[in-house]
Each structure stands twice: as C-alpha cells, then as structure tokens.
Chains A and B, each alone.
Chain A
Amino acid sequence: MTRKGSDKTMNYRDLFSGIAFLIIGVTTVWMGNDFFADAAYVPIGVGTLMGAFSLPLIWRGMKSVLTTRAMTDSTTGHNMTTHPAPALVDHPARFTTTLGCCLVYYTALPIVGFYTTSALFITLLAVLLGERRPAVIAGITVGFITLLYALFAVVLKRPLPVEFFLAS
C-alpha cells in the first residue's frame, strides 16, 4: 500500500464515519424532541453538536476523495483500483473466528455451565489460533480453570452458571 493509496482509503473512511456520526446526531436530536421538557436539553444539544462536528470530517473526506480522484483520472486514465484499500481488519479469518467462538461461548455458558464451557472455549480457540502443543494447551487450561474455581467458587463464592451435569 502506497502512502497515497492509504490516504485515499482514510479519506473514504473519514467520509463514511462522518456520515455515520451525522446520522447518529440527527437521530439523537429527532428522538430528543419527544422527551419531556428539560430531559430533552442535553440530547438535543449533544445531537446538534455531533452533527456540527461531523461536517468538517465529511467536508475534508469529500474534498480529499475528489482531489485524489481528479489526480488519479489525469495520471492513470480513470484507473481507480491502482491501490487496493487496506482492510479494516488485519486478519479477517482470525478476527471472525475469535468473534464466532465468543458468541458460541456466551450462548453455551448458561446451558452447559461456566467451567465446562470455559475449558472448551480456551482449548478450541487456542487450537484455531494456531497453538499445536496439546500438553501446553491442556496444562494452561486446567491450571487457569482451577485458579478461577478457587477464586470464584471457594474465595469469593460468586454464583456462576451451574454445570449441566450438576444441575438437578
């Protein structure tokens, strides 16, 4: 990614994030209008300010995008794909794997139980993220879960989702 390409992408991002903030600001003002008297002051004020501060971002983004487009058009003849945009996420596969595992973990937690789900989650995610030493995975998982059990069940006595095999 060249410097120019990176800047161009950032400007697109500034433009889109500016529009997103403008929408949030306008929605806040619109919803704030329905609130009772003084409960509306701050939402309306904050929404208006958000809209106002998003404008320079949109303006700058648009100006730079148009400038870059004009420069690219004049030098490379309508070639706008010279510099592919850098991904917002560095490694989408690892990112989505982690997020997916988290969602499964949170869903399974109240059904399967805290310690079992956590042990499975650590093992599975470690393997998916590239750890290939079974002894290291098992050792750290067992050690960590034991530590959590000692802290939460024995010392702090905090109620955590009960294990499915212990539920009556």
Chain B
Amino acid sequence: MFESLLNALPVALQFGSLISLFVGTLIGILIGALPGLNPVMAIALMLPLTYGFDPIIALGLVAGIYNGSMYGGAIPAILLNIPGTPAAIATTFDGYPMTRKGEGGLALKTACWSSAIGGIVSALALMTLAPMLAKVTLAFGPAEYFWVAVFGLVSIAVLVGKDVSKGMLSALLGVIIGLVGVDAISGEERFTFDSLYLSGGFELLIVLIGLYAVPPVLEMAERRNESYFNSDSFRAKPSGGSLGLLRRHWRTWSRSSLIGVAVGILPGAGGNLAALLSYNEAKRKAPDPETFGSGNPVGVAAAESGNSADNAAAMIPSLTLGIPGNLVAALVLGALMIHGLQPGPQLFTRAPDVVFGFMWQMLLTAMLLLLLGGMVATRLFAQVLRMPSALLVPTTLVLMAVGVYTVNGNVTDLYVMLAFGLTGYLLNRLGFPLAPVVLGVLLGPMAEQNFRLTMLIAQNDWTVLFTRPISLGIVALLAVVLLSQLWKTLRHRRQSQDQAA
C-alpha cells in the first residue's frame, strides 16, 4: 500500500492537479468567507464542470475547496463575528474579541496556521489509516455491506439533529428518492408514473445541488440587500513571527488535531463538533481559562485546528467502505462515481493513483493554505464580503443553472433542481435535517442491492444477515449507537421534567 502511496505523489504533483488545487483552495477560501455559502454548495456546483476533466483534477478542486473553506469560514468569524461556515462558530468566541482589541491580523494568521496544521495532521491520518481499513474491508461480503450501509444511514439519521424521528424520516425520504427509476436487478420501473424522465432516476448531482445549494440562496434572497463588510472591521496590527506561533501553539494544535481526526472518523459528527470539543479542551488545559472568550489566541488556534483536522479524516470511512462521514465526503463519493469509480476497498487496487493521489492532494491543499491564506491574500478575500447579496443571489443561481444544465443538456433538470431546493428549504424550516436525505439517496440503493444479493446467495434465508461474525459486529455497533441515543433522550427528558418540577 505504501508503494502505491509513493507512486501517486507524481500524479498529485502534475501541472493540472496543482492548478486545480490552487484554484480550488482560492475558491474554497472565498466561499468560506461568504456567510450563507458553504463548501458543500461550492463543491456541488463545481462537480458538473469537471465532467470532462481527469478524476484527479476534479478531486483536486474538491480537496482545495474543502480545506480552503474551513479557513475561509474563519475570516468573517474573526472580522465580523459571523461564522462563514458552521464549523467556524467556535472561532468567533475569541477571534472577534481579538479584532476588537486591534489584533485581527494576529487572529487571522493564527487561524491560517492552525487550519493548515489541522489539515496536515488529518491528511496524514487519512494516508495511514485508510489503507489499513481497506485491507480489513476486503473480507466484507454483501451482508456486511448491507449492514455497513444501514449503520451509516441510521447513525447519521440518529446523531444529526435533535429529533430521532425527524432524522429517520429524512433518511427514509432519501431512500425513496433513490428508489425512483428502473430497478437495476429486475428491470421493473418504480415510482416513475410512466414518465420517461423519471425512469432514469434522479441524477445525484441535481438532488445535491437542489437540496444543498438552493435553500441558502433563497434564504439570502429573503434578507435585505446588504454587504457584510465595512472597512472598520479590518484593523490588522502587524503580527508576530510564524516561529513564535509554532512555539506558542504546538501543544494546542497537537491536541486539537487529534480530537478533530477522531471526530472526523465518526459518521455524522461534523467540523463544528470537532471545533467546540477542541476549544473546550484547550480552555480546560489552559493556565488562564478566564481569558477565553475575551480574545485569547489559543481559543482561535484550538477551534481552527480542530475543525480542519476533521476534513480528511471524514474521508476514511468514505474511501474504504463507501460510507460518507459528512456531506463533503458524500460529494467526494459522488465525484468518484461520476468519473466511473466505485468507492470501497476495491478502489485502492483498481484506481490507486486516484485514491492515493487524492490523499496527497488533501495534504498539499492544507500546505497551500499557508501560501494563499497570508495577510495580503486574506485582505483580498475579506473584500468579497463587500459583494451585495442582491447580486450574489442571481449570480449563484445562474451558476447553479449552468452546472445542472451541463449534466444532461436538459432544461427539465433545472425545474427538478428547483423542486428539490424548495423541498430542502421546507424541510429545513420544519426542523428536518438534510444530511440524512442525501445519505439516503446515496446509501439506500447500496443497502438494497446488497440485501437482495445476500438473499439471492442465501436462497432467501434471512438468518445469514446475523450469523456472519463481521455482520454481527456491525449490528452490535448499530445497537450501541441506538441505545446511547435512547439513553441520551431519556436523560434529557428526565432533566427537563426535573427543571419543570
């Protein structure tokens, strides 16, 4: 495996790949800097544009946007107290007070270095852990894959959001959306209503853009026309040297990066959780915890290294099992499928250059942050916040339209995207999490195919699902997730009753 890893380095260092990393990181920082826009949306928009490209170039863009946006989210968090991405919430705690003290420059520099270090540690974890896990998963059969898909779906439905029923309903809705079209095994048309368009099923990318890119734009359109930035927000004092930062924060970076990696591997746990856990841990270990929240750079370092360390680690279950740890990981799976590559352990032997090249790209983009996220560039990126929302809305909608249209050259896709957008908007407002819907679309067909294959092999003897040791292990894990959630709900209910009493 390590030979394949080394062989993929020249692939990742190709001119086209480097350009895509550079452009992707720049786009990522810009998108992250704009509150309301998020990396999922940016990647979903970029994917159709990469159809004609080599997979490694498409993945380079994804890697760049992903890592870039994590740092980009810190720019408005620090300058304006508005988290550019949900993962940057913890960055506002100390980042904005630093800006108010005239230390915005130092806060941005700390955030940039912390994001880069977190990203590097995460990429190294991906490089070492994913190949090992891939070897283990070679022993998986259809029954195990069925349970893995169910585990991914149920754990995310249960862990994301506050309400288990709503999470499960979202996931099941996603599975139903994934069922639309001609059944791959029997050739039967399901839920097509005799429509030729529906017989092909819904294009994953159109569902993703609709569910994830349209609702934030509609929400932005509802706000009064405003730009977020004014020149007073950016008062950057010259900051200390990079060596000083390294000396001051290496402990925080190490601890937060490990937390981020651990959180990243868990399905359903996002960068915001990694950042908050890292922040709390840094505060707990600090000799001056009372200064946290009033402009302590350690708080910024912990939050930013924590949320960036989540990035590549979330790819570990995606690349090895085909189970995305978060939404960007789901999009990476989509990108691989678009380019004809099936995620899973076989990917490591069938397309080693692509999978290991992508790991190198995650590492390289984390390093690129240091180059692109410097003071001058950060000043430039902060100018993006000047763009009024009244212009940002139509330009983003045009970008979506062109992205969706180029998938099949069919205008109907645009209406379908809008319909999914409205569904996503409505679900959001009703408190239903969207992540399980997307995972339902992705994992539903995987679960179904493997279930039916298992039944076919075992001649409809369903006990085979519970008799193989690995399957049993996954079922046990599933039971742990469900029971822990049940325990959490009961404890929460008891606390509420106590408070009410």
Contact code string A123-152 (vs B, CB < 8 Å = 1, else 0) = 011100111000011001000100010011
Interface of B is mostly: helix
Q: A153 vs B207: C-alpha distance in the bound complex, in angstroms?
A: 26
Q: A118 vs B422: C-alpha distance in the bound complex, in angstroms?
A: 21
Residue B500 at the chain A interface, CB threshold 8 Å: no
Pick the contact of A144: B52, B169, B395 (CB < 8 A). B395
Residue B401 at the chain A interface, CB threshold 8 Å: yes
Contacts of B185 in A (CB 8 A): 38-39
Question: Closest B-chain residue to A60, C-beta based?
Answer: B165
Pick the contact of B222: A10, A95, A151 (CB < 8 A). A95
Pick the contact of A94: B49, B168, B175, B221 (CB < 8 A). B221
Query: Is the pair A38, B452 in contact by a Cβ cutoff of 8 Å?
Result: yes
Query: Is the pair A105, B169 in contact by a Cβ cutoff of 8 Å?
Result: no
Stretch at the interface among B276-284, B300-308, B365-373, B424-432: B424-432
Query: Is the pair A36, B395 in contact by a Cβ cutoff of 8 Å?
Result: no
Q: A140 vs B179: C-alpha distance in the bound complex, in angstroms?
A: 42
Known contacts A24-B173, A50-B173; A121 and B390 CB within 8 A of each other = no
Query: Is the pair A21, B452 in contact by a Cβ cutoff of 8 Å?
Result: no
Contact code string B439-478 (vs A, CB < 8 Å = 1, else 0) = 0000010011001100100000000000000000000000
Query: Is the pair A28, B393 in contact by a Cβ cutoff of 8 Å?
Result: no
Residue A42 at the chain B interface, CB threshold 8 Å: yes
Query: Is the pair B394, A125 in contact by a Cβ cutoff of 8 Å?
Result: yes
Residue A1 at the chain B interface, CB threshold 8 Å: no
Residue A102 at the chain B interface, CB threshold 8 Å: yes
Contacts of A39 in B (CB 8 A): 183, 185-186, 188, 190
Query: Is the pair A42, B222 in contact by a Cβ cutoff of 8 Å?
Result: no
Residue B247 at the chain A interface, CB threshold 8 Å: no
Query: Is the pair B431, A148 in contact by a Cβ cutoff of 8 Å?
Result: no
| A44 to B: closest C-beta gap in Å | 11
| A10 to B: closest C-beta gap in Å | 7
List residues 179-207 of chain B with CB under 8 A from any CB of chain A.
179, 183, 185-186, 188, 190-191
Residue B377 at the chain A interface, CB threshold 8 Å: no
Query: Is the pair B222, A148 in contact by a Cβ cutoff of 8 Å?
Result: no
Query: Is the pair B169, A54 in contact by a Cβ cutoff of 8 Å?
Result: yes
Known contacts A46-B175, A109-B401, A148-B402; A57 and B218 CB within 8 A of each other = no
Question: Closest B-chain residue to A140, C-beta based?
Answer: B391
Contacts of B387 in A (CB 8 A): 140
Query: Is the pair A36, B391 in contact by a Cβ cutoff of 8 Å?
Result: no
Question: Closest A-chain residue to B429, C-beta based?
Answer: A88
Residue A122 at the chain B interface, CB threshold 8 Å: yes
Query: Is the pair A121, B394 in contact by a Cβ cutoff of 8 Å?
Result: yes
Contact code string A98-127 (vs B, CB < 8 Å = 1, else 0) = 110111011001100010001001101110
Contacts of A77 in B (CB 8 A): none
Contacts of B49 in A (CB 8 A): 151, 156
Known contacts A50-B173, A88-B429; A130 and B391 CB within 8 A of each other = no
Residue A69 at the chain B interface, CB threshold 8 Å: no
List residues 29-47 of chain A with CB under 8 A from any CB of chain B.
31-32, 35-39, 41-43, 46-47
Known contacts A31-B191, A122-B391, A148-B398; A88 and B426 CB within 8 A of each other = yes
| A102 to B: closest C-beta gap in Å | 6
Query: Is the pair B398, A118 in contact by a Cβ cutoff of 8 Å?
Result: yes
Contacts of A84 in B (CB 8 A): none
| A99 to B: closest C-beta gap in Å | 8
Q: Which of A13, A98, A156, A159 has the most CB of B within 10 A?
A: A98
| B283 to A: closest C-beta gap in Å | 30
Q: Which of B191, B219, B390, B429 has the most CB of A within 10 A?
A: B390
Contacts of A35 in B (CB 8 A): 183, 188, 190
Contacts of B225 in A (CB 8 A): 129-131
Residue A17 at the chain B interface, CB threshold 8 Å: yes
Pick the contact of A140: B183, B395, B401 (CB < 8 A). B395
Pick the contact of B394: A28, A126, A160 (CB < 8 A). A126
Question: Closest A-chain residue to B225, C-beta based?
Answer: A130
| B237 to A: closest C-beta gap in Å | 32
Contacts of B394 in A (CB 8 A): 101, 121-122, 124-126, 129
Stretch at the interface among B77-85, B117-125, B343-351, B411-419: B411-419
Binding site for B on A (CB under 8 A): 10, 13-14, 17, 21, 24-25, 28, 31-32, 35-39, 41-43, 46-47, 49-50, 53-54, 56-57, 88-91, 94-95, 97-99, 101-103, 105-106, 109-110, 114, 118, 121-122, 124-126, 129-131, 136-137, 140, 144, 148, 151-152, 156, 158-161
Q: List 25 A-B contacts (CB under 8 A).
A: A14-B430, A38-B186, A39-B188, A39-B190, A41-B451, A49-B168, A57-B169, A88-B426, A88-B429, A90-B219, A90-B222, A95-B221, A95-B222, A97-B221, A121-B398, A122-B391, A122-B398, A130-B224, A131-B225, A144-B395, A148-B398, A152-B402, A152-B406, A158-B406, A160-B402
16 extra A-B contacts, CB within 8 A, seeds A38-B185, A131-B390: A36-B186, A42-B179, A42-B444, A46-B179, A50-B173, A53-B172, A88-B426, A89-B222, A98-B218, A101-B394, A102-B397, A136-B388, A140-B395, A144-B395, A144-B398, A156-B52
